[in-house]
Amino acid sequence: MEEFLTAHFWIAVGQIIMIDILLGGDNAVVIALACRKLPPEQRTKGILWGTAGAIFLRVVLIAFALTLLQVPYLKLVGAALLIWIGVKLLAPQDEDEHSNIEGSDRLWAAVKTVIVADLVMSVDNVIAIAGAATGAGEQHQLPLVIFGLLVSVPIIIWGSQMVLKLMDRFPIIITIGGMLLGWIAGTMAHTDPAVVDWLPQTKTWYYGLGIAGALLVYLAGVVMRGRAKEAA
């Protein structure tokens, strides 16, 4: 029980919640689109069952990812993907990926749509959350993931509009989130089984690589924003 009271555990919980809010904003859109044609009395059921199924599948995927991250070089690959996800978060995007999500007037068809769409769109969440969980100690990674996801679910579903308005009003939140992904990428790369034998496993290197990852995401995002402005 004591390991759940450590600073590492609660820092990782905070990271998971922030990641799921930043990268999970699409979940609320998917749920709304998939359930929009349901009768009013069935919409709440569609939202709850669809979200429950999506969260269950995500926990399974993250458990699988945590196991895979013990294979040499895969943490390095995951770190590279996190850097890219962080840069994409900071760079301007055309939001058109939801146009192919069909609503249904049948409850279980809508639930299936929510689960399948979330599964397709959750690769970035899975990688980022698995990366955050690896920093909390091997013995309670999965309970940490489940706890972090459960805490973030009501925020995404019922507080998504507020979160989106806060992000629009304070863009620094998105910048911090992107840099957080870079930090997780750097610290995750530091613990890859392929590099632990020749890379010093000290706090200086751990924090140094984390800072380097955060700065890399920030600078790449600035460059891509500048290019987008020039193109416009």
The pLDDT of residue 120 is: 65
**If pLDDT is split at 50, 70 and 90, which confidence band does 186 have?**
very high
Weakest mean pLDDT among 30-39, 95-104, 184-193, 223-232: 95-104
Among 22, 35, 50, which Cα is nearest to 101's? 35
* Residues spanned by the domain of 222: 2-231
pLDDT above 80 (res 113) = no
| DSSP structure string for 82-111 | HHHHHHHHHS-----TTTTPPP-SSHHHHH
Q: How many distinct structural domains can be found in the chain?
A: 1
